[in-house]
Amino acid sequence: MSRWIEPISLKGEYATLEPLLIEHIDDLGEASKDGELWKLWYTGVPSPETAEAYVKGALDMFEKHTAMPFVIRENKGGKIIGSTRFCNIDEQNHRVEIGYTWYAQSHQRSPINTECKLMLLTHAFEQLEAIAVEFRTHWHNQASRRAIERLGAKQDGVLRNHQKMVDGSYRDTVVFSIINHEWSSVKNGLEFKSQEK
């Protein structure tokens, strides 16, 4: 069965997005140690102990055609520094979400995030002909919300009590999107940001 979103590698100046493989379990566990990111209660970053389940879950989503997961490899040192994916794939309507994104703490607020988003959005709008790309985050994840807004996405709304968290609390999910008619101006903004050192 053919896919709307096929596995692909996307290479930029600072980082390369590579299709996630089972062999990446240890590398992702190691990357998450940088900042102990799994301790942030409002994120879903794996710990070294849960990296295997995280990767297998992502690959299961891939097999069901609902996600295309990537690892993020820093070009300079060749290390895997995080993960992201196309998810909530709606092939019929050509809508997709960019989510499950996290970076080792030492690479946060670096040019890599802007570059990776630019590569994913360019692929979505220019190769896949998506009509909309969504971003979702926890209501309490203020850093993520600000980062999504800086990309040029607009807030669509808040899904209240959207998901049950591991600790039993409920997540209010903030939904943002970029639509195809906005892509040209958003792309100009991202390309300008990516040139800032």
Q: Residues 90-121: pLDDT tens digits?
A: 999 999 999 999 999 888 878 898 899 999 99
- Give the domain CATH number at 21: 3.40.630.30
Residue 4 is assigned to a structural domain of this protein: no
pLDDT at 59 over 60: yes
What tens digit of pLDDT does each residue of 136-187 get?
999 988 988 998 999 999 999 999 999 888 788 899 999 999 999 999 999 9
* Cβ proximity of 38 and 49 under 8 Å: no
- Give the domain extent around 21: 10-194
Residue 2 is assigned to a structural domain of this protein: no
Residue 39 is assigned to a structural domain of this protein: yes
- Looking at residue 110, its pLDDT comes to 81
Residue 3 is assigned to a structural domain of this protein: no
Distance CA 113, CA 147 (A): 9
Average pLDDT over residues 45-65: 93
Residue 115 is assigned to a structural domain of this protein: yes
Q: Name the average pLDDT for the chain.
A: 92
pLDDT at 197 over 60: no
Query: Which of the four pLDDT bands, split at 50, 70 and 90, describes residue 72?
Result: very high
CA 167 to chain CA centroid, Å, is: 23
Q: How many domains does the chain have?
A: 1
Query: Which of the four pLDDT bands, split at 50, 70 and 90, describes residue 40?
Result: low
What tens digit of pLDDT does each residue of 164-175 get?
887 888 999 999
* Cβ proximity of 17 and 119 under 8 Å: yes
Q: Across 75-194, where does the E strand assignment appear? A: 80-90, 95-103, 132-138, 154-164, 170-179
What is the model's pTM?
Answer: 0.92
